[in-house]
């Protein structure tokens, strides 16, 4: 199943972001630390590079991600030109305090009352932008919700006499060309619930984490390894939890949503779905498949 999600308001959001970048000095891009590659919007990268703007990439929700793989991502991203990357947990005051000084270093020609530093914060939906903004501003100024696409329009926020932050709506791109990205985004609750099938996504998630995080899963769900395959795992989980529907059948939907919610909330443990190395392999395979398909036409 190909997962696609591009609500109508995002077309306008993209145009306004392009216009706003004319008068902003840098981009703060918020990523999900569990999927830094999949949660990086290629449109954001394209428009900031067109304007030659530096970027602070924030890997948020780092408390939910595998710390070793997060370090690999930071090393990878910090080697990119005009880029600085940090990992944070938006609930941590100490983490939040790191953001503005790093922004000032990326645009040293600004940051005064005469030339205030103008920052545009962007990212895909539900990565924690609003929580970060509220923490930076020490006020609940941005609307927060546990659903994708809560923010619908831009908001200009004067942080102090030398710094101005512009919030933007969470923005997807028109076509998710790689199915893996779609499933990863759905598993991390970045995509609207009507755009994907929970059972299929849960099975994909199970297969993505069972090898590297099998011990965590066995402990959480009380299911011994080797795990049964695909739907059989959900059957087993439903039986363990007593998820039974009329006729004595196992409730696979409830088992699927349980697996997804436990992953999203970090109840299984600190889990990353991709590393720089695994993403490179995935992208190479995708490129090869695209080439093979085009040659067969």
Cα gap 127→168, rounded to integer Å: 13
Phi, psi of 225 (to 5 degrees): -85, 155
* Residue found under tokens 């994708």: 148
* Cα dihedral 207→211→216→217 (10° resolution): 30
CB neighbour list of residue 98: distance below 8 Å, 6 or more residues apart:
86, 88
Cα gap 154→163, rounded to integer Å: 17
Average pLDDT, the chain: 91
Span 145-154, pLDDT tens digits:
555 545 556 7
Span 185-219, pLDDT tens digits:
999 999 999 999 999 999 999 999 999 999 999 99
Q: Look up residue 2 and give its DSSP letter.
A: -
Span 76-124, pLDDT tens digits:
999 999 999 999 999 999 999 999 999 999 999 887 889 999 999 999 9
Q: Structural domains in the chain?
A: 9-167 (3.40.50.300), 179-296 (1.10.1580.10)
Span 124-173, pLDDT tens digits:
999 999 999 999 987 666 555 555 545 556 788 999 989 999 998 889 99
Q: Return the structure tokens found at 101.
A: 């000084």
What's the pLDDT score for residue 264? 98
Question: What strands, in cross-sheet order, belong to the sheet with 163-167?
Answer: 83-87, 55-60, 26-32, 117-123, 163-167, 155-160
Residue of 274 and 290 predicted with greater confidence: 274
pLDDT of residue 270 exceeding 80: yes
Burial environment of residue 113 by CB neighbours within 10 A (0 to 12, 13 to 18, 19 or more):
exposed
């Amino acid at each position: 199943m190909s997962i696609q999600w591009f609500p109508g308001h995002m077309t306008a959001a993209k145009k306004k972001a392009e216009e706003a970048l004319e008068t902003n000095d840098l981009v703060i891009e918020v990523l999900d630390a569990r999927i830094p590659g999949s949660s990086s919007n290629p449109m954001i990268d394209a428009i900031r590079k067109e304007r030659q703007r530096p970027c602070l990439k924030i890997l948020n929700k780092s408390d939910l991600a595998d710390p070793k793989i997060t370090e690999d991502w930071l090393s990878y991203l910090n080697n990119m030109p005009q880029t600085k990357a940090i990992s944070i947990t938006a609930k941590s005051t100490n983490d939040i305090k790191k953001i503005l000084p790093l922004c000032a270093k990326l645009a040293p020609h600004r940051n005064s009352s005469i030339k205030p530093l103008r920052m545009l914060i962007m990212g895909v939906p539900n990565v924690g932008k609003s929580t970060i903004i509220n923490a930076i501003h020490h006020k609940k100024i941005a609307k927060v919700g546990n659903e994708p696409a809560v923010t619908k329009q831009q908001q200009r926020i004067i942080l102090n006499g030398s710094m101005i932050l512009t919030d933007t709506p969470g923005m997807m791109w028109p076509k998710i060309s790689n199915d893996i990205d779609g499933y990863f985004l759905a598993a991390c609750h970045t995509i609207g619930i009507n755009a994907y099938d929970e059972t299929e996504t849960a099975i994909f998630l199970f297969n993505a984490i069972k090898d590297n995080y099998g011990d965590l899963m066995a402990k959480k769900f009380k299911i011994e390894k080797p795990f049964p395959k695909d739907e059989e795992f959900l059957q087993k989980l439903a039986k363990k939890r007593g998820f039974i529907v009329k006729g004595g059948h196992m409730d696979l939907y409830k088992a699927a949503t349980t697996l997804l919610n436990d992953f999203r909330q970090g109840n299984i443990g600190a889990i990353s779905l991709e590393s720089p190395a695994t993403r490179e392999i995935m992208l190479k395979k995708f490129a090869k498949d695209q080439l093979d398909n085009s040659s067969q036409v």
